[in-house]
Structure 1
Amino acid sequence: MRCAARPGGGARSVFRGGIPVFVLSILLLVAAVVLFFVARGQSSGGWKLGAALSALAGVLAGVFACVHVVSAYEVGVPVTFGKVGSPLTSGIHFRSPFTDVTSFSTRPVDLDLHDKDVVEVRSSQGGVLYADVTIKWAVVPANAVELYRLAGNEEAIQSRLVMPDSREIIRNVFAKHTSEEGYASARERIGSEIDSLIKQRLAPRGIDVAAVNLRNVRPSEQLQEQIDKKIQQQQATERAVEAARTAKAEAERKRIEAEGIASANRIIAKSLSDKVLYNQCLDAYREAAKSHPVYAVPCGTNANGSPVIVDGTKN
């Protein structure tokens, strides 16, 4: 039994000990026969016991060479002299010692496209983005034989089928969206579209995609510089618009104020007559006489204005 690490977690088992164990079984049986004939010419019972033990070990080794155990959550694909047989489900199976069984795990495998495997995509505007994606996939037991013919083992299924198809779909989906949609406004919609298309692509091949998680999207350095410049331009434009709005509001306020003053002056000009002015003059000097003595003042609109005696006790 040989165990190798599975990409993304788990393990897969490939039984390749059938032929060596079968050869060992033949050698033990031959040894048992030899010991048996040697024991016939000897009086000691040790040779007979050795022959019996060799025969028993040979039989057990032969049985072991014909038995293969498929672990839980695995499916095995038997190959005998280049001919692929029906898939083996979990449990004990008897097979020819010349049969090689390749096992595939049916548990979901995580394919992480990040770091050196990050997907470089281009938006509809030509901007470069980097997408970190995790794809959970598993082998459908009924399609294990077809996948074996296509790839050969789990590592090959992932590297030849799951990874290239997924990367192609991710690039195609991002190419339909702008850079801003890719890293901000439409990430959820893009992730859902990628999930749907990958499932549709891999399902007919016998690969069950449980989920596609678009974990992170970041712009390239060049695109980030363009984004920063655009933000600065937008901020400058907003400040200019606000300044223009403020200046316009101030000009409107001054216009309204000037119109109000002009209107008031017109009203005052129409309402002022000689008698009104004469009366206002009397009121003004009457108020002034309360704190400073006033003897006589001319009031009127011209030099003919009559003097007014404010305090009659003084000349």
Structure 2
Amino acid sequence: MLILSLLFLAVGIVLLILRWRKVGSWPVTLGGILAGVLGLLLGLTTFVHVVEPTEVAVPTSLGKVGRTWQPGLHFKSPLTDVTTFSTRPADLDLTGDSTVEVRSSEGGVLFADLTVKWSIDPQHTVELFKLAGSAEAVQQRLVYPDSREIVRNVFARHTSVEGYSSQREAISSEIDKLITARLAPRGILVNGVNLRNVRPSDGLQKAIDQKIAQDQSTAQAEAAVRTAKAEAEKRKIEAESTAAANAAIANSLTDKILLSQCIEAFKAAAEKNPVYASPCGAGGTPVIVDGTKR
């Protein structure tokens, strides 16, 4: 801007000199005046700088870094360069080509998609300027590599199944805490980490499918074994119950009781058969039952 201002001033002076020497006409004079005024206005802008409400700025003059400028109007030297930093939250999307490839504690390959929401701490703007040089460089040189490193380290402490299913929320929370702790001392505020998606590689997915099929087969075999054991136990209990009942009956029956029961049975049968030979006598001698005489 300073060079452009000097250029317009030079053009205006030349045109006015030409008019003074009566080389040009009044339009030349008017053009010289306008060029001079424009050059002065442009020159004045090189002495002021406006910092927007959502920005902070760092001035540098002849290699010397000044203090952070807060939002508002600031006066400066034409030789002062001003670097602005936005204080609005920014999103670092680690998806697509930037997806983080991680390995689980078992060596399985996973792909993690996440978003890191971050912003700069205005009180550390000068330090960030010295470390990176610009807001874009802060993300590329600090937020991006540190986030990827932490994501890999966290997943390396978990199994593949924990990584993409059972412990996903815990892993996301752990990544958030570690990234926040890593970047806070540098003046970078982490407003949240969203672990959006975790998917296994093709090779790992195949191994997972095989393990699931094997687990299902094992479960079916174990269920069959449990069923067979239950049936065998049931038959054993039934056999023991039958044997116990038979033993109780055998111990409770005597010859007299058997003879009495036999006679009673054949008395009932003799009502339909007038004379009936019953083998219920002592020593196997038949007993003649006369149904007509009662």
Query: Does TM, normalized by the shorter one, top 0.5?
Result: yes
Q: Measure the CA separation in 1 of the matches of 2:209 and 2:264.
A: 71
Q: Measure the CA separation in 2 of the matches of 1:209 and 1:162.
A: 9
Residues 212 and 275 (structure 1 numbering): CA distance in 2 closer, same or farther, change over 3 Å? same
| Number of the residue aligned with 1:263 | 244
| Number of the residue aligned with 2:262 | 281
Answer yes or no: is 1:214 the counterpart of 2:210.
no
- AA of the residue aligned to 2:202: E
TM-score for both structures, normalised by structure 2: 0.86
| Number of the residue aligned with 1:298 | 278
What does residue range 57-76 of structure 1 map to in structure 2 within 5 Å? 57-76=38-57
Answer yes or no: is 1:87 the counterpart of 2:68.
yes
| Number of the residue aligned with 1:23 | 6
Answer yes or no: is 1:252 the counterpart of 2:233.
yes
Instruction: Tell me whether 220-229 or 118-127 shows the greater mean CA deviation.
Output: 220-229
Specify the SS of the correspondent of 2:243: helix
* Equivalent residue in structure 2 for 1:34, among 13, 17, 20: 17
Residues 45 and 25 (structure 1 numbering): CA distance in 2 closer, same or farther, change over 3 Å? closer
- AA of the residue aligned to 1:162: V
* Equivalent residue in structure 1 for 2:289, among 308, 311, 315: 308
| Number of the residue aligned with 2:166 | 185
What percentage of residue pairs aligned between the two structures are identical?
Answer: 51
Q: Is the 8 A contact 1:74 1:106 kept in 2?
A: yes
Specify the SS of the correspondent of 2:78: coil
TM-score for both structures, normalised by structure 1: 0.81
- AA of the residue aligned to 1:68: H
Specify the SS of the correspondent of 1:297: strand
Please, which runs of 5 or more residues in structure 1 have no aligned partner? 1-17
| Number of the residue aligned with 1:12 | none
| Number of the residue aligned with 1:6 | none
| Number of the residue aligned with 1:15 | none
Residues 165 and 92 (structure 1 numbering): CA distance in 2 closer, same or farther, change over 3 Å? same
Residues 311 and 19 (structure 1 numbering): CA distance in 2 closer, same or farther, change over 3 Å? farther
- AA of the residue aligned to 2:17: V
Q: Measure the CA separation in 1 of the matches of 2:71 and 2:21.
A: 45
What does residue range 164-183 of structure 1 map to in structure 2 within 5 Å? 164-183=145-164
- 1:119 Cα deviation after fit: 0.8
Q: Is the 8 A contact 1:135 1:209 kept in 2?
A: yes
Q: How many residues align?
A: 293
* Equivalent residue in structure 2 for 1:194, among 145, 166, 175: 175
Q: Is the 8 A contact 2:270 2:289 kept in 1?
A: no
Q: Is the 8 A contact 2:11 2:36 kept in 1?
A: yes
- 1:124 Cα deviation after fit: 1.5
Residues 20 and 308 (structure 1 numbering): CA distance in 2 closer, same or farther, change over 3 Å? farther
Residues 225 and 52 (structure 1 numbering): CA distance in 2 closer, same or farther, change over 3 Å? closer
- AA of the residue aligned to 1:150: L
Residues 241-290 of structure 1: per-residue CA shift (max 9 Å, x gap): 22222222222221121111111111222222333223323343445466
Q: Measure the CA separation in 2 of the matches of 1:133 and 1:184.
A: 15
Residues 163-213 of structure 1: per-residue CA shift (max 9 Å, x gap): 111111111111122222222232222222211221122122221111122
Q: Measure the CA separation in 2 of the matches of 1:283 and 1:20.
A: 139
Q: Measure the CA separation in 2 of the matches of 1:311 and 1:157.
A: 124
Residues 119 and 46 (structure 1 numbering): CA distance in 2 closer, same or farther, change over 3 Å? closer
Instruction: Tell me whether 183-192 or 109-118 shows the greater mean CA deviation.
Output: 183-192
- 1:103 Cα deviation after fit: 1.8
Q: Measure the CA separation in 2 of the matches of 1:99 and 1:289.
A: 137
| Number of the residue aligned with 1:125 | 106
Specify the SS of the correspondent of 1:97: coil
- 1:36 Cα deviation after fit: 5.9
- 1:237 Cα deviation after fit: 2.5
